[in-house]
Structure 1
Amino acid sequence: MSTYNLLEHLLFPSIFLNKQKLDRELEGKTVLITGASSGIGEQLAYMLAEIKVHLILVARRVDKLVAMKNAIEMKAAQISVFPADLRNEQEMEGLLAFLHQLPDGLDIVISNAGHSIRRSIHQSLDRYHDFTRTMAINYFAPVQLLLSTLPLIEKKQGHIINISTVNTLLLPMPHWAAYQASKAAFDTWFRSAAPELNMNGVFTTSIYLPLVRTPMILPTAAYQKLPAMSPQHVARIICNSIYTKRKTYKPWWLIVGQLGSLLFRRCLEFSIPRRLRKRGKRQ
């Protein structure tokens, strides 16, 4: 967070983290983190490494998971790594079997794995797989994971934290159809399921993030100069949410974007196609 410029400091103010409360909340518990080998998941794992907690890290990159295990197991946390592509049915079933055999159950699930694609509709005409793969990892995988592990989480009166995006709460933008549709699908599923989960003693948290400076945004050159939150900052937000049990986290300025999406929707729907046409002519 020390690398923030002035605008980023204003957009992403620091969040207080009570380490004593976090330690008390997590001591002796089991935490599953998906998408753990880079970005937000990686920083969160390292942030929890000094706590006596059992971390289960899931990601596709075996080498990175092994390196993280070697670094973290020398600290207070117990660590298990499970290499898996959650879009692969066999690998998902292997993970679920592993989780159901845990001797101490499962207390917290942090659903962080995801995939982003920025591509126009006309560039996607022969790329139907863009939509199936984003739905597979951003929607179907977390639904399958939670449906299977919910009895374990309910038994421990646990906590589910969904790492979402501010885009799900704003007017959909062009070039992001695959990504926004898949993220909105799980956000809606999770918010719909939350009252039932809460009724049975399970805490639920939705964290709506702006642009985060992770490897996922590197393919989009336009994002390199835009304000972005650091993954370390997001990890602190998640840690704060673990002991406060907050229902949602949203950037303070999101309300402005939501009001703009509501009040100026017709204007935006008229002006955005014109901008796209002008951009197309310049190219």
Structure 2
Amino acid sequence: MGLLDGKTALITGAGTGIGRETALLLAEAGATVILVGRRPHVLEEVATAVDDAGGSAFTRPTHVENAGEVRELVAWTREVAGPVDILVNNAGGASRVLDVRWISEAEWNTVMGVNLTAVYLLTQAVLPDMLAHGGGTVITISSLAAVRPTLLGGAPYGAAKAGVRNFMTYLRNTFRNDLVRATCILPGEVNTPILDGRAVPPSEEARAAMVQPQDVARAVLLCATLPQRTVVEELVIAPTLVRDTSADVEASRWIGAPEDAREER
């Protein structure tokens, strides 16, 4: 008997990295997993892996920063698998331009949408069922950039991740006596595809020393499977080894800068 038998877990950003590994672990623990992302073929690959391991998975391509699509997602989930018991807000992404001097309003808003607005929309959509059924669990993957922001993640990413950290605290303080648990996980550098977009993509050796997606997924599993009487309020998970990122930071400073600024440096 699995610790999550009979539970429905909705996981965003479920096609790769932390989301994929989380889906596999929660399904192994007995949950029916709802895999949410933008690329249908990637979600189907994860669903096949879950099915092959004896689990149950459904896929739903969704733009999680879109209120209408989120409402449709949650209503559809209720129909095919029951109300959401566990929400894992994992979808995220950083901007191409990282220095606040050069970033456009459109790019800023895009980062805020997927990292912050989506968490609000999804939480708002699942809360009524959680309150009606005696509780639930909301786990949000923030970042150490929330408390240690640098040019590696960029200005909007750090601000958005700080925002979801604050929002999880609000959620916990407001609904904990209704047995709605709100957990914020703050990983350091994780070896996920987002690193491919860095100004200086880390080497394979550097990536091997980072936190791995399955490490964060194990933390999510812990938070989701503890008895309802217990909540992990916040969890920091970081690489043991600290790498020198000074060259990365300097390169990040000039992405998107106008030519005259580059010439003056």
Q: TM-score, normalised by structure 2?
A: 0.80
Q: Within 1, Cα distance between the matches of 2:264 and 2:196?
A: 24
**Counterpart of 1:151?**
128
Give the alignment partner of residue 215 of structure 1, picking from 190, 193, 200.
Answer: 193
Q: Within 2, Cα distance between the matches of 1:251 and 1:54?
A: 26
Given that 1:99 and 1:106 are in contact with CA atoms closer than 8 Å, whether structure 2 keeps it comes out as yes
Q: Within 2, Cα distance between the matches of 1:181 and 1:111?
A: 17
Q: Within 2, Cα distance between the matches of 1:131 and 1:201?
A: 35
**Counterpart of 1:246?**
232
Query: Does residue 57 of the first structure (1) align with residue 35 of the second (2)?
Result: yes
Aligned residue for 1:145, secondary structure, equals helix
Given that 1:35 and 1:114 are in contact with CA atoms closer than 8 Å, whether structure 2 keeps it comes out as yes
TM-superposed deviation, 1:113? 0.6
Q: Within 1, Cα distance between the matches of 2:82 and 2:71?
A: 20
TM-superposed deviation, 1:114? 0.7
Task: Give the 4+ runs in structure 1 shifted more than 4 A.
Answer: 280-283
Q: Within 1, Cα distance between the matches of 2:237 and 2:42?
A: 31
Q: Which amino acid aligns with 1:144?
A: L
Alignment CA distance shift 1:105-1:97 (3 Å): closer
Aligned residue for 2:224, secondary structure, equals helix
**Counterpart of 1:18?**
none
Query: Does residue 134 of the first structure (1) align with residue 120 of the second (2)?
Result: no
Q: How does 1:1-283 map to 2 (within 5 A)?
A: 24-101=2-79, 104-117=82-95, 118-124=97-103, 127-154=104-131, 155-170=133-148, 172-174=149-151, 176-225=154-203, 226=206, 227-244=209-226, 245-251=231-237
Q: TM-score, normalised by structure 1?
A: 0.75
TM-superposed deviation, 1:102? 5.1
**Counterpart of 2:244?**
none
Larger deviation, residues 218-227 vs 64-73: 218-227
Given that 2:138 and 2:182 are in contact with CA atoms closer than 8 Å, whether structure 1 keeps it comes out as yes
Q: Within 1, Cα distance between the matches of 2:67 and 2:82?
A: 25
Given that 1:108 and 1:153 are in contact with CA atoms closer than 8 Å, whether structure 2 keeps it comes out as no
TM-superposed deviation, 1:240? 1.7
Relative CO higher for 1 or 2, CA cutoff 8 Å, sep ≥ 6? Answer: 1
Larger deviation, residues 185-194 vs 86-95: 86-95
Specify every segment of 5 or more residues in structure 2 that has no aligned partner in the other structure, as ranges.
241-248, 255-261
Alignment CA distance shift 1:228-1:58 (3 Å): same
Given that 2:10 and 2:34 are in contact with CA atoms closer than 8 Å, whether structure 1 keeps it comes out as yes
Given that 2:138 and 2:181 are in contact with CA atoms closer than 8 Å, whether structure 1 keeps it comes out as yes
TM-superposed deviation, 1:218? 1.0
Q: Within 1, Cα distance between the matches of 2:213 and 2:264?
A: 35
Q: Within 2, Cα distance between the matches of 1:165 and 1:74?
A: 32
- Residue identity over aligned pairs, in percent, reads 26
Given that 1:52 and 1:76 are in contact with CA atoms closer than 8 Å, whether structure 2 keeps it comes out as no
Larger deviation, residues 243-252 vs 200-209: 243-252
- Give the number of equivalent residue pairs: 239
Q: Within 1, Cα distance between the matches of 2:125 and 2:69?
A: 14
Q: Within 1, Cα distance between the matches of 2:27 and 2:224?
A: 15
Given that 2:189 and 2:239 are in contact with CA atoms closer than 8 Å, whether structure 1 keeps it comes out as no
Q: Within 2, Cα distance between the matches of 1:86 and 1:143?
A: 10
TM-superposed deviation, 1:110? 0.7
Q: Within 2, Cα distance between the matches of 1:190 and 1:93?
A: 20
**Counterpart of 2:245?**
none
Q: Which amino acid aligns with 1:104?
A: G
Q: Within 2, Cα distance between the matches of 1:38 and 1:251?
A: 19
TM-superposed deviation, 1:106? 1.7
Specify every segment of 5 or more residues in structure 1 that has no aligned partner in the other structure, as ranges.
1-22, 255-271
RMSD of aligned alpha carbons: 2.8
Q: Which amino acid aligns with 2:54?
A: A
TM-superposed deviation, 1:99? 3.2
